[in-house]
Amino acid sequence: MPEVVEVAVVGAGQAGLSLSHELSHAGVEHLVLERGRVGETWRGRWDSFCLVIPNWTLQLPGGHYAGGDPDGFMPRDDIVRHLADYAHGFQAPVREGVEVPALGPSDDGGFLLSTSSGDIRARRVVLASGAYQKPHRPPGADQLPASLHVIDAENYTNEGALPPGKVLVIGSGQTGCQLAEDLSPAGRDVYLACGRAPWFPRRLGDRDTVAWITETPFLETTLTNLPSPLARLGANPQASGRNGGHDLHYRTLQASGVNLLGHFIGAEDGVAHFAPDLTESVAFGDARYADLCGLIRTSCDARGVPVPEMPTPPPFEASPAERLELDDLGAVIFTSGFRPDYTSWVDFPAAFDDLGFPIQQDGSSTVVPGLHFMGVHFQRKRKSATFLGVAEDAAVLAETIVARNRSA
């Protein structure tokens, strides 16, 4: 007979654990299922990975950062340790090593989770499997020859694990820039295929830029405030927390010797082709920086505090190549984003929109009663999928689950 639980939570990252904390506090019976170990997604980051946002932004419910370096940037293994200690601290009911390849309706009106350790029936299910689950490759990616070493960002560990030769990084959001920065000091000849991505300086005045941002409405932006639902897929800001944190964007990468290119179009006859749009992509990022400066200036004026100095970016000059011989490449790394992948294993197709995102309100499906979500990008606000916003979403969703349980 299948095991029966009140609430099943799929995923033991910061989203699933935050909800587990709130459900535990409310006395709601639940079980957290994790395919690997607590914080598994973070465990899979590359060796030099560290947070882009300062340590003080780790504000999980009952698990705020309490170390001695609040303005530092936590490296990968410390992030994992923080999550593991957090789960242990409130005895989160996590079962590690349990995969959930299928979720569908059960004949009792609830849900049936097919897992690697047996079937589980649940009255409610919360999917906390990450903001994005499936690597996305742009059009033309399948034109690269099969003989070339091609990986996605999630499969990158360090420079030494790649075959010798030049490296082409396709995708220039936060991850793409960080990987280019990781590869270049090792003596690799790095090419970065650039697209439209925002950026911000590491510090403005005597504070980290993230501190200024939290005092503006930026992180409070909701999905309805976006120009279109597609805007959810925009690149994360170019920035770095490596080596104590520093600026990282097209100008710094160019100065460090990274070869900047336009966006990747495709490949043919042993040659990769790139659009002549690098200057436009740089201008796009500069415009987003100007927008951010405007938000910070308005916020400071409203609070009557001094406005930090916000330097104008210097002119950008480049003559990028539009062709790259594939024979010269040792590897290609795609960092062109991720997409939701719920529909590959969740048997409620109407519960998701055309982009694969859940149709939900405050983490609860508006299509399938009893189906909930945590850690979704723009679940409630721009900050929803971050360490800075997950506690707020967990409190709201836990309250909803408790209220609906009482009225059932």
For the chain, what's the residue count? 408
Q: Torsion angle of alpha carbons 252, 253, 257, 259, nearest 10°?
A: -140
HSE of 23, CA atoms in CB hemisphere, 13 A: 28
In a shared domain, residues 282 and 353: no
In a shared domain, residues 169 and 106: no
In a shared domain, residues 364 and 320: no
In a shared domain, residues 141 and 57: no
In a shared domain, residues 356 and 253: no
Give the count of domains, the chain: 2
Domain that holds residue 356: 3-133+340-407
- What residues pair up with 7 in beta bridges, in sequence order? 30, 124
At which of 318, 337, 356 does a domain end? 337
In a shared domain, residues 60 and 202: no
For 118-159, the pLDDT digits (tens) are: 999 999 999 999 866 788 999 999 999 999 999 999 999 999
- 251-283 burial, b at 16+ Cβ within 10 Å, e below that, comes to bbbbeeebbbbbbbbebeeeebbbbebbeebbe
The encoded tokens of residue 250 equal 């097209």
Mean pLDDT on 18-47: 97
At which of 337, 363, 379 does a domain end? 337
Instruction: Match 């609830």 to its residue by tokens.
Output: 110
In a shared domain, residues 333 and 345: no
In a shared domain, residues 151 and 168: yes
What one-character DSSP code corresponds to residue 393? Answer: H
> Residue 126 in contact with residue 397, Cβ under 8 Å?
yes
pLDDT value for 213: 98
What's the chain's average pLDDT? 96
For 80-113, the pLDDT digits (tens) are: 999 999 999 999 999 999 999 999 999 999 999 9
Output the pTM of the full model. Answer: 0.95
d(Cα 195, Cα 193) in Å, to the nearest integer? Answer: 7
CA angle 113–115–117, rounded 5-degree value: 135
For 334-350, the pLDDT digits (tens) are: 998 888 999 999 999 99
pLDDT value for 49: 97
Mean pLDDT on 195-205: 97
d(Cα 304, Cα 2) in Å, to the nearest integer? Answer: 61
d(Cα 179, Cα 333) in Å, to the nearest integer? Answer: 9
> Residue 46 in contact with residue 157, Cβ under 8 Å?
yes
CATH code: domain of residue 370? 3.50.50.60
In a shared domain, residues 165 and 235: yes
In a shared domain, residues 397 and 321: no
Q: How confident is the model at residue 405 (pLDDT cuts 50, 70, 90)?
A: confident
At which of 305, 337, 369 does a domain end? 337
For 315-327, the pLDDT digits (tens) are: 999 999 999 999 9
Q: Which residues contact 190 (CB under 8 A, 6 or more apart)?
A: 166, 167, 169, 180, 183, 184, 257, 258, 259
pLDDT value for 132: 67
Q: How confident is the model at residue 40 (pLDDT cuts 50, 70, 90)?
A: very high
In a shared domain, residues 72 and 212: no
In a shared domain, residues 11 and 128: yes
pLDDT value for 134: 87
Nearest C-alpha neighbor of 208 from the set 179, 236, 238, 241: 241
Give the orientation angle of helix 76-89 with respect to helix 14-25, to 10 degrees.
20
> Residue 140 in contact with residue 161, Cβ under 8 Å?
no
Phi and psi torsions of 388, nearest 5° = -80, -25
